[in-house]
A and B are shown apart, each in its own frame.
Chain A
Amino acid sequence: MDTRELPLILFTLLTQLAVGLAVFAALRQWATVEGSSVKTRNEWIAILALIGVGVVAAFFHLGKPLGAIRMLANIGTAWLSREILTFAIFGLLAAISLYMVYTKTANGWMLKLTALVGLLAVFTTGMAYAGKAMDAINNLLPLVFFMLTVFTLGPAVATYFVEEKTHALLTSILFPTLLASLVVRFVVPFIWLSGNAVMNATGQNFLTSPLHWLHLAALLAGLFFVRNGKSIPAWLPIVLLIGELLGRIAFFALVVASGANLGGVY
């Protein structure tokens, strides 16, 4: 695997986890009995920390990190610029959310807005990674994969911030997400096999990679252990995190670029 991609693997994973936590912080306030008095301060601290670490990691991806501020220059056509902008706004809103929660002046709209912007940010990430050179994912698949990650890691890690009684709420999202994720991630590489030579090569890479199968195994384990719909074991989020990490490494390492096949039959 090209270790140069590690920063982006971390960035995407951590920010998607952060957005997931934000969604569930907002959801809890909206959907639970506690309503506006629900305690989400720790989540927001975690969210900001995750964003911070993710952004720092992303810096290391750049050949010239000091030029990073200029990445907002091409919002007109570049999804990457839009991603930077949206995450900046998300970060700002998360900070405001934390402040409001901390000073107990939080109103539901701020948290919901933050969560929405977070999802928007993941949307831009999904579009930014649909690179035109990567035939297998030059489509909505990155967006789909990333959203599945948000709704897998969000509820899973949120369990560390909530009481046992809230597990049911989390499981009600986690279980269908795990099911969808398993199905999608299992089927897609097979579909790639019937694509062009570049997609086929990508499909073969995935189907022969332990990274891919371990990811699916983690999802399967998750499905099995939350099937009762009531509680999430404390070790499960770790397994899911590891699974998602392996899957993300596969995403960055195993997708074949069309330029690698020049001179060959497409």
Chain B
Amino acid sequence: MRTEVARAPRVRGLAIAGAVALALLAAPAALGDYHLHMLLSAFIAIMLGFGHRLLLLTGQASYGHGGFYALGAYAVAILTATYSWNPWLALVPAILVPGAVALAIGVPVLRARGPYFFLISFGIAVVVNSLLSNLKGLTGGNAGIMGIPRLPGLETVTDYYFLLCAVVIVGGVAFWLIDRSRWTLELRAIGGSPDLASAIGISRQRNMVLAFVVGAAITGLLGGIFATYMAFVAPTAFSFWISVYILTFSMIGGAAYWSGPIVGATYVTLIPLLFNWSEHLVALFVAISIAVVMLLWPDGIVGQVDRLLARTRRGHGGVPPVRLKAETSAAKISAPVHKGGARLVVSGLNHSYGGIRTANNISFEAAPGEIVGIIGPNGAGKTTLFNLLSGYVRPQGGKIVLDGTEIQTLPPHRIEQLGLTRTFQASMVFDRLTVFENILLGVWGAGEKATIVEKLFRPRTRYERDIAKVEELIESFGLSEFAHTPAGSLPYGIRKLLGLAIGIATEPRVLCLDEPVAGLTDAEIDRMVETLRKVHRERQLTLLIVEHRMPVIMGLCDRVVVMNFGEVVAQGTPEQVQADPVVHEVYFAR
């Protein structure tokens, strides 16, 4: 949705960036070594913030990056001072070693949810520190390593200033591109709703580990450069506080924004300059700042400013709506390739939890293009069934076959890639992303996997074909009015519609809908049912619907499966099921 309105701020932004860059490049002419040193520290801080921000987007934080910084610094120190490597060459291990450590820790620990990773990350900084003190032969122990040569070609503070200025500019641009790329959106999806992200094909594990490793590698590189600059490293220089600072740089500005680390790092490194504080006072200042931000401004400084600006913007007539469309469009939802529905065969599915049989020998089949309704009283096991089908719970017995492929042991994102998508009752959309971004993620779930370079650097606006699909879906679902509104602020009925749209966007061959009309008003139910019918007509996909509204089920479904106590108690056409005495017993019998 490229409108003319977007062009103006773009040009202005570039102009500002250009002016800043020029100012930075001209600085050495005006400033002495002391101030250049301070600016250069700020540059390092900014890059460290950028590196850590990737992980923050996914909803995890690390208090261990100080360890990676130290690893990078010491790698360079040891290789250059003790083994006379060329310092430029030594930067390579400075990147690889922290990356490898992050990989080794990230793979097992990021699998768990909750604060475990955060706790373990503490250990990283601490363990590295203790290693540095202990392996005296290698690291010189507490005395450290001296005489680290400067990078060949760079002698003075001014030279290093230019180096780091270049690093920050290149890094800043790179991260700016990454921020506009597909990968960042996927990371934010994981941070917003990990379950929904898996359901549309985003691998939580792989992406989080990659974010962690990239951050660690960048941190190591900066540590290495820092070592050559200071010419001396010792464990005391890499205390636990460094990890705190790195986390602060990326959080205090606001992790959701590209400019967050810039603001955060500048705030933390340069403001104390104004007051010439002691080391402890600075530490106190940093810590209090982050405490206050977490308490009052969870979106960070930039986030707070953004919110204020948005309020004033709205007061001045607001952002112009792109198009106004209230009704569901009569236009076809066209898709270039109709894969058609898949056959889903479930046989003998078993699952127990805490001594209760949640699934007992469940067997049924959904033919390609069929609409199957799943009904049953509360506690019958319908949600468990969906969780089993979509890979969130592994069955203890039985098979699920999707067009000939067994999927019962696969993780959710793999199942999505094979063509089965499910929706959720709770967390049905990504609240912090716009409607457009939500559906775009779904569309990406349909396509072939992109290459890494593409994923990282290709701006989202360039995915023309995917964007066309998104626009079509938005129009067809009648969401044009809300295209660039954050999904979380939309009314409930619209969010549910969006949830369906995301599911459809993944071009599934089997779509599992979990209570698609729960909580909707009568008018909204009609609209949803009409949309479902249209979608089914166009795409002929196989639909599985868990619902309680009998009129909806009976009117929409080709066949109905009735569950109770974790078992299938009846199957058949709606008429058959309505007349079946067994079903009556389920709902009415004593």
Partners in one complex: no
